[in-house]
Structure 1
Amino acid sequence: MATKVKHIKKKKLGNYPHTMVVFSISLALFVIGLFGLLLIHAGKLSDKVKESIEMQVYLDRNLTEVQLVRLQKTFEAKGYVAYQGSNAQVRFISKEDGAKAFLEETGEDFMEFLGDNPLRDAYVLRIDPEHSSSPELKSIKLDLEEVNGVYEVQYVESLIESINSNIQKISLVLLAFALILLLVVTILINNTIKLALYSQRFLIRSMQLVGGTSFFIQRPFLNRAAWQGIVSGFIASALLFALMQYAYHEVTELQLLRDDEQTYILMGALVVIGLIIGFMSSYRAIRKYLRLSLDELY
């Protein structure tokens, strides 16, 4: 009667269950990606708010058409005026248009009992977001008031100061959370890889006993850790992309805050972060097991 030979699969160096590791790293990177998307959309929202800052420049009365054209060219040449393509964001509102707008909003025709239009012609200047800080806006107001033909310059100063203050506070809070989250995720990935390598500690010692060099022992582990980080980064990026498409489909207003360039940079960063953290965590864990005595391995 033939004897059945049971083949035992030998354990290879660096061959440890990696599904759990990839899943854990992917999940951790996905959380980082979600927070990164929050930062991107918050920054885009901040830019949208800053892009809406306008100044109303009221003009002296009885200016000629030539003077009005000259004033518009003067305003368009200012470095703090926003541009959309090649067009300066400067628009003219006549006092007649202002009276019509007031009538449409309030339903009251003040010209009936005043007998005259007290409003002034005005230019509305949209300010470039790079010049949206409160000190710069005050400086811009003073600069515009010095232009010949300008009667008065107005903007909602208290609202702008409140917006800038809140944006600064929110940015600091989000940055602090991002640093804390990155630290927590790094510790989580590090512990996951250490646990995965724990089962290989005796194999590492066996390789040392038969004369394996540190580089020879570390190489398969580091190669696998690097690939795990890269694969996890791609998985996290794919999940993030799918979630984004779903969110944009369900909430169409989010399209206004979409920034594909920064999003792709974030996804690339997830791959790099996964590679670096996985590689370094594996390197530290292997170095630890290489230095332990036989008694300390138990």
Structure 2
Amino acid sequence: MKATSNKKSVGSYPFVNVIFSISTALFMIGLFFLLVIIARNISSDLKKGIEIQVFLRKGLNEEEIKVIEKGLSEKSYIDQSDGKPRIQFLSKEDAAKTLIEDTGEDFIEFLGANPLRDSYIINLTEDFQNNERLEEIKKDIESIPDIYEVAYTQNLKKMVDDINDNIQILGMVISVFVIILLFTVVVLINNAIKLALFSQRFLIRSMQLVGATPFFIKKPFVLRATLHGAISGFLATLLLLGIYLLAIEILPDIEQFLKLWEISLIFIGLLALGSIIGYLSSYSAVTRYLRMRLDELY
């Protein structure tokens, strides 16, 4: 009978559990960034809808109204769209027409006159959308001549603030889990490679005795671990893509809050992160093992 050989090649180790653990950790990291990006984009979209209405003094002529518009457009807190300030003039006639359509009642016929005022509807940049800044902006605009009053929606502002707070809380909670998962993965890779090194310790020692350099010995371990990290990143990417496509089927509106370049960046990041984790963990484990004394190998 011929004897069978159970020798393992240099650099081999039980990699199934390692790939599974890295894939799980990377999936959680990718899911975290996916949720954060979607939440931030939703928040940003809501903030773009926050409007401040600037009511004008009655009896202004067209030239005086244009002067006010020019003054508002020069303010640093006015949001820009395609290089133009987001300022919209709303005449009292248009405002009355909209109100009549919404309520179904002709209040002008009842009152005998239109009590509404001409106004400008302006949008602010995100940096100025907090309670303190809004009050400062309100006072600044009301200091402009011929401005009667400035009004903004408090309920919508509170909703955006609540979303931002929830994003921060969600980020903190998931970050803790991500850190724990990464630590577990690094420990697992180190233990798997240590086991492989221990099972091949005499072969490695023989390679050292015949003059093999540390780089030559490390190379197969590092290459395999890096490859397994990249495979894990690819698997995590596929799983994350599946979850995203399923979410779009259930909630189609989600698609508008996640751009293609953002998805691509997350997927590339997962592949790179998996490779980096595999490389650094394996390099550290092999380096530490090769520094052990001969008597510590038994």
TM-score by length of 1: 0.87
| Structure 1 Cα separation of the partners of residues 231 and 88 of structure 2 | 52
> Is the Cα contact below 8 Å between 1:189 and 1:278 reproduced in 2?
no
> What's the offset of the Cα at 1:292?
5.5
Give the aligned partner of residue 191 of structure 1: 187
Are 2:91 and 1:94 aligned?
yes
> Is the Cα contact below 8 Å between 1:25 and 1:189 reproduced in 2?
yes
- Give, as a single letter, the amino acid of the residue that structure 1 aligns with 2:43: S
Give the aligned partner of residue 252 of structure 1: 252
> What's the offset of the Cα at 1:58?
0.4
| Structure 1 Cα separation of the partners of residues 2 and 154 of structure 2 | 87
Give the aligned partner of residue 242 of structure 2: 242
| Structure 1 Cα separation of the partners of residues 121 and 87 of structure 2 | 6
Deviates more, 1:209-218 or 1:248-257: 209-218
> What's the offset of the Cα at 1:228?
1.5
| Structure 2 Cα separation of the partners of residues 24 and 184 of structure 1 | 12
- Give, as a single letter, the amino acid of the residue that structure 1 aligns with 2:280: M
Q: Which residue of 155, 167, 178 corresponds with 1:182?
A: 178
Q: Deviations over 1:209-259 (max 9, x none)?
A: 552554333221112111211222223223323332332244221122112
| Structure 1 Cα separation of the partners of residues 135 and 160 of structure 2 | 14
- Give, as a single letter, the amino acid of the residue that structure 2 aligns with 1:75: L
- Give, as a single letter, the amino acid of the residue that structure 2 aligns with 1:143: D
Deviates more, 1:284-293 or 1:84-93: 284-293
> Is the Cα contact below 8 Å between 1:32 and 1:182 reproduced in 2?
yes
Q: Deviations over 1:93-150 (max 9, x none)?
A: 2212222222222223222332211111111111122321222222221221122221
Output aligned runs, 1:1-298, within 5 Å.
5-8=2-5, 10-157=7-154, 159-160=156-157, 162-163=158-159, 165-197=161-193, 198-210=195-207, 211=209, 212-290=212-290
> What's the offset of the Cα at 1:83?
2.4
Unaligned runs of 5+ in 1: none
> Is the Cα contact below 8 Å between 1:36 and 1:266 reproduced in 2?
yes
**Over aligned residues, Cα RMSD in angstroms?**
2.5
| Structure 1 Cα separation of the partners of residues 235 and 228 of structure 2 | 10
TM-score by length of 2: 0.87
Query: What secondary structure sits across from 1:123 in the alignment?
Result: strand
Q: Please identify runs of 4+ aligned residues in structure 1 that moved more than 6 A.
A: 293-298
> What's the offset of the Cα at 1:190?
1.8
> Is the Cα contact below 8 Å between 2:49 and 2:123 reproduced in 1?
yes
| Structure 1 Cα separation of the partners of residues 169 and 291 of structure 2 | 41
Query: What secondary structure sits across from 1:91 in the alignment?
Result: strand
> Is the Cα contact below 8 Å between 1:32 and 1:181 reproduced in 2?
no
- Give, as a single letter, the amino acid of the residue that structure 2 aligns with 1:280: L
Deviates more, 1:270-279 or 1:165-174: 165-174
Query: What secondary structure sits across from 2:120 in the alignment?
Result: strand
Going from structure 1 to structure 2, the CA distance change for 1:35 and 1:258 (only over 3 Å counts) comes to same
Unaligned runs of 5+ in 2: none
Going from structure 1 to structure 2, the CA distance change for 1:164 and 1:251 (only over 3 Å counts) comes to closer
Q: Percent identity?
A: 35
Query: What secondary structure sits across from 1:55 in the alignment?
Result: strand
| Structure 2 Cα separation of the partners of residues 34 and 159 of structure 1 | 28
> Is the Cα contact below 8 Å between 2:11 and 2:196 reproduced in 1?
no
Deviates more, 1:28-37 or 1:135-144: 135-144
| Structure 2 Cα separation of the partners of residues 100 and 231 of structure 1 | 62
